[in-house]
Chains A and B, each alone.
Chain A
């Protein structure tokens, strides 16, 4: 390594080691986020508390009730007679009422009604619960018909038999989707925010002036400032992948080499963005706000990490194209969850490459100009 770059890199690592907050933020916080998202905040819907009011008390009504609980999606709530009260207080997320005469209607071949009330205050959860309910009731009905036909000696062709198989994320666990998002966020924090702060700090201190009159060239200064944070970001990303595997069994199904290559490209884009922000921001506060607004928020909101892009209005969908994280998360999902190669995600890779090159050229022009020559 060039001597001047070496001196800058050593100095930057000293700054980091003297400030435990920075290192903690870069290495510990991501693991904390992973644990929090992985264990505490589950986006999966399981063990929905269900209040059953069986007014029919027949074998049929009990069979339907049993079908609900044997699915594993619901847990039984016995106490409390008032369905409204149970929903209001939040003790039950759904209620099932089987009216008197349920079995009689079934026996006569009439349409038997059951009432299901679902707490809709969490729309995503409610939609999932309704899906479960419809599935269970339909299956119950279909089985009844088949049984009846068999008794009557009629063989019914089973017209529709849906057996969905989920690919790529077989267990439908949200933690599998969180790991790619977290990796992206960590790289953004260290590569964009820390880099921008480190450069602006020199401006604030007045030491930038000292560096500018020294024989250090622009590219050496940029390399000396960015290499340390790129290194820490990559280490942190590797830690999260490792912890994702150890704690949640999230594996990299695709090629590790492609993952390394694409991650390097993304880090390059992030560092360029960090340098670009540093040329415009006069103080560390402005630099932090600007980089958080430009990178962290869009990553949380618009990259498909937490909220699916497909559900967004078209105008917002168009905005998501402006942020590089979207492409990187698509690539990570392809490599981590689907295990497919560059053939399937080349569009995202190309977009990321274009983004990185554009950010790097604008940043280098602006950085050289901000140094006075």
Chain B
């Protein structure tokens, strides 16, 4: 059974359509990424799934409960953690935990064992007496996650949980997310960090209220970049883009830092001389090439392509 099932979900605010008929399903125990820029409709979608907003049309069920029919039932079976650290800094770790245990009506007998389980999971055992406000940023994030996990929710919503946290702490955070998913909970996470999206089993990209790409990270890459992807280090990279784009064998060129990413047309990538093709094209146009390397495409490459295609009205 799918932990989250969404079918033709729409949310209108007046004449503005924030979410425009999205559909997806998340199998139980998986980690699902919802990606997109600010204003793409991610937050509105999450708010509907959490039972905070009534859908204008379409259907959505979370943990088998229809969100429009029983929003309170949804709230009892989900955990939620938002992008802003939203615990109480003047309370200690254990006081925050007890408070959320109280909100979810966890019985007095169970509170201590649940607190122990969560503290071990988030690696804060032994820090019970510290004020939440005195914890380092990454610890706060883990505490917020722990509070959302106290009542063992079937579905966990994480709304940009790692915004503003250093990479090491982010890595640690994702280890915990995997443990949660392994124990059978389903996790839906939104993020701006596309490298982070690689951790998800399935990702969905929203743009202007609609889903423009959906699949596993590897599947999306293979589907959108059937040819080889090359990273080029050359002179005047900004001008070199035009020279590469003029070459019919190169599908797309874009700037990444001081380097170029060039996607070759399907078929060319299989040949050994893909690097030579690019080298020759640039040399002919008068650019000095320092290096050309074959790289796997990143999700960022995928999404740039998807969004630019959808902006041109091309195939999705």
Contacts and interface: CB of A to CB of B under 8 A. Distances in A.
B52 A213 contact: yes
Interface string B83-96: 01111101100010
Interface in A99-157: none
B52 A207 contact: no
Contact of B99 (A11, A205, A215, A217): A11
A213 B76 CA distance: 9
Given A213-B52, A215-B72, A215-B105, A206 B99 contact: no
Chain B interface residue bracket vs A: 20 to 34
A372 B102 contact: no
Given A214-B75, A372-B47, A7 B102 contact: yes
Interface in B95-138: 95, 98-105
A369 to B, nearest CB: 12
A212 B90 contact: no
B162 to A, nearest CB: 15
A4 interface: yes
Nearest to A205: B86
Contacts of B147: 210
Contacts of B104: 214-215
Nearest to A15: B90
A373 B84 CA distance: 22
B28 interface: no
Contacts of A14: 90-91, 95
A216 interface: yes
A213 B75 contact: yes
A10 B99 contact: yes
Contacts of B88: 11, 15, 205, 207
Interface in B65-87: 71-72, 75-76, 78, 80-82, 84-87
A29 interface: no
B222 to A, nearest CB: 37
B99 A7 contact: yes
Interface in A1-24: 3-4, 6-8, 10-11, 14-15, 18-19
A210 B80 contact: yes
A15 B133 CA distance: 13
A209 interface: yes
Q: In terms of DSSP, what is the predominant structure of the interface of chain A?
A: helix
A372 B53 contact: yes
A213 B99 contact: no
Contacts of A207: 86-88
Contacts of A8: 102-103
Given A215-B76, A372-B52, A373-B52, A209 B86 contact: yes
B207 to A, nearest CB: 25
A318 interface: no
Looking at B51, B85, B86, B103, the one whose CB has the most chain A CB atoms below 10 A away is B103
B80 A213 contact: yes
A209 B85 CA distance: 11
A103 B71 CA distance: 96
13 contacts: A4-B103, A7-B99, A7-B103, A18-B90, A18-B91, A209-B86, A210-B80, A210-B82, A210-B86, A210-B87, A214-B104, A372-B52, A373-B53
In the A-B complex, the 3 residue pairs with the smallest Cβ-Cβ separation, listed nearest first, are A7-B102, A206-B84, A206-B86
Interface of B: 47, 50-54, 71-72, 75-76, 78, 80-82, 84-88, 90-91, 95, 98-105, 147, 157
Interface of A: 3-4, 6-8, 10-11, 14-15, 18-19, 205-207, 209-217, 372-373
Given A14-B91, A15-B90, A18-B91, 18 more contacts: A4-B102, A4-B103, A4-B105, A7-B103, A10-B102, A11-B95, A15-B88, A205-B84, A205-B88, A206-B86, A210-B80, A213-B52, A213-B78, A214-B100, A214-B103, A373-B52, A373-B54, A373-B71
